[in-house]
Amino acid sequence: MTPDTHFKEGLAAGEIRLQRCAACDTHIFFPRVLCPACHGTDLTWVTASGAGEVYTFTTVRQRPERGGDYNVAMVELAEGVRMMTRVDGDPQAVKVGMPVTAYVGDIDGTPAVLCRKSEA
Amino acid sequence: MDHALRGKSAIVGLGVAGLGEAPGYTSWDIMAQSAQAALADAGLALKDVDGLFCAMMEDSMPVLMAAEYLGIRPRHVDGTLTGGSSFVNYLASATAALDAGLCDVALVCYGSNQRTASGKLVTASRLPPFEAPYKPRYPVSGYAMAAQRHMHQYGTTREQLADVAVAARGWASHNPQAFMRDPITRGDVLAARMVSDPLGKLDCCLVTDGGGAIVLTRADRAKDHAKTPVYVLGAAAESTHRQISQMPDFTVTAARESGKRAFAMAGVKPSDIDVLQLYDAFTINIILFLEDLGYCAKGEGGAFVEGGRIAPGGALPVNTYGGGLSCTHPGMLGIFTIIEAAHQIRGTAPGLQLDGVDLALAHGNGGVLSSQVTAILGSEATL
């Protein structure tokens, strides 16, 4: 199974799958055929815990009739990878460093990693 | 010991065309007009060009299309596309090619009709697949997230970002080639419509038509040309990522490394530079590059640009033509950072000409803070 296929099948199953390099223990996102840290090729798959925090974000401004403002965020997962995602809710309530939980939701009918603010 | 390529090439021709709006002309037309202007400035003709360096948004093989349009058969070509930094990158590759004898007359050229043709940026590539679903507005959202992180980490303010835009407009107000010349205030920048927080409309570069070209030859031939040669003393690149999500640290760009190597190659230090032309696609760029190129410590860029320090009359002249924020930004800006740096050394700037410029820095940025290229240009006195 190719890296992309394995990741997409994970999303379809409601899992956020990350690769982990057997040689240097680095977690890897986006999926690929080698480790960008040590260039090893012995990669295994793990399921992300979902724990993470907002590294940075922006509110993309859009007219209400086109759907209104929305959040685009960079979230760092506990495993050490960073990915683009979206934090649910009021875009103005998002803060750098805010703890979030990543989950598999959907955007326009396609499974995608989304985040919600973690309960304190 | 001198770097093997230090001062081995010189810019002998500068040309621009279609700055602002050039309705009806294609990007290739504007590129060709720029090329002709630069060659005329050098006292050369298209038939003399045997090295062609060109990046365009319209075609996946731009350097081939450019050669076809211009009716030339270059023996050396380079169409490496690193976004807006491509043209500063060509200073390094053209210098190497000239020095190695792969070509004798190198033409670096660009053109774009993005303002009058489509009204928005033409992008050459699809959104990265792991970012596209979230609909970032590129490129602004990438830079906005860098700005947000910088503000969080260092307390940089929107007012400080605004000072960058005000300074650019200050220079542009003296430049007849600049597209936006009416003075603006901090308040104007802060009150402008938000695009992708924390960046508002006046934190973003213009969308204009325009083209630019330069002609380079080996330094030993440069004095045969009519205009004062501008020597390439240093040029160095570094890239860190393609997708902004993969940028190692959103507050530190590869300009730290490209700058360090360009200064080392030129044998000069940041304080020796008389004028800086930095790639200002967005206001945050200037703050990041001033830090990363060694003009202030990391995190102090916001305070550094306050009080008009980089504006006309300030201690450190930056983007003396008005930059991408107020002069022109036809999709890729890099060629214009070189052209203004060279004009300042020659003493022929279209806007405010500074006195006694011997060393100028031209910095290119490409992608979403992905590719950084720094060049140091110098007068004959600096060889």
Structure tokens that stand for A59 in this block: 């509110």
Query: Does A70 sit within 8 Å of B136, measured CB to CB?
Result: no
pLDDT at B1 over 80: no
CA atoms of B284 and A56, how far apart (whole Å): 15
0.85 surpassed by complex ipTM: yes
pLDDT, average across residues B218-229? 92
pLDDT of amino acid B103: 98
- Each residue's pLDDT, cut to its tens digit, for chain A (120 residues) gives 899 999 999 999 999 999 999 999 999 999 999 999 999 999 999 999 999 999 999 999 999 999 999 999 999 999 999 999 999 999 999 999 999 999 999 999 999 999 999 986
* Residues 36-55 of chain A whose Cβ lies under 8 A from any Cβ of chain B: 55
Q: Which of B12, B38, B16, B94 is nearest to B351 (CA)?
A: B16
Identify whether A30 is preceded by a cis peptide bond (ω within 30 of 0).
Answer: yes
Query: Does B197 sit within 8 Å of A59, measured CB to CB?
Result: yes
**Beta-carbon pairs below 8 A across chains A and B:** 72
CA distance B292 to chain A (A): 20
Structure tokens that stand for B78 in this block: 């380079």
Q: Which of B283, B264, B267, B255 is nearest to B362 (CA)?
A: B255
**Which tens digit of pLDDT belongs to each residue from B315-349?**
999 999 999 999 999 999 999 999 999 999 999 99
Structure tokens that stand for B256 in this block: 């730290």
CA atoms of B23 and A32, how far apart (whole Å): 45
Asked whether the beta carbons of B231 and B7 are under 8 A apart, the reply is yes
**Which tens digit of pLDDT belongs to each residue from B41-82?**
999 999 999 999 999 988 889 999 999 999 999 999 999 999
Burial letters B215-245, b for 16+ CB under 10 A, else e: bbbbbeebeebebbbbbbbbbbbbbbebbbb
Query: Does A59 sit within 8 Å of B149, measured CB to CB?
Result: no
pLDDT of amino acid B224: 86
Residue with tokens 């994970």: A10
pLDDT of amino acid B119: 45
Q: Which of B366, B308, B351, B325 is nearest to B139 (CA)?
A: B366
Which chain A residues are within 8 Å of B129, Cβ to Cβ? Answer: 30
* Residues 147-186 of chain B whose Cβ lies under 8 A from any Cβ of chain A: 148-149, 152
Which are the contacts of A39, defined by CB distance < 8 A and separation ≥ 6? none
Query: Does A59 sit within 8 Å of B133, measured CB to CB?
Result: no
Tell me the helices (H) and strands (E) count for chain B, helix number first: 12, 11
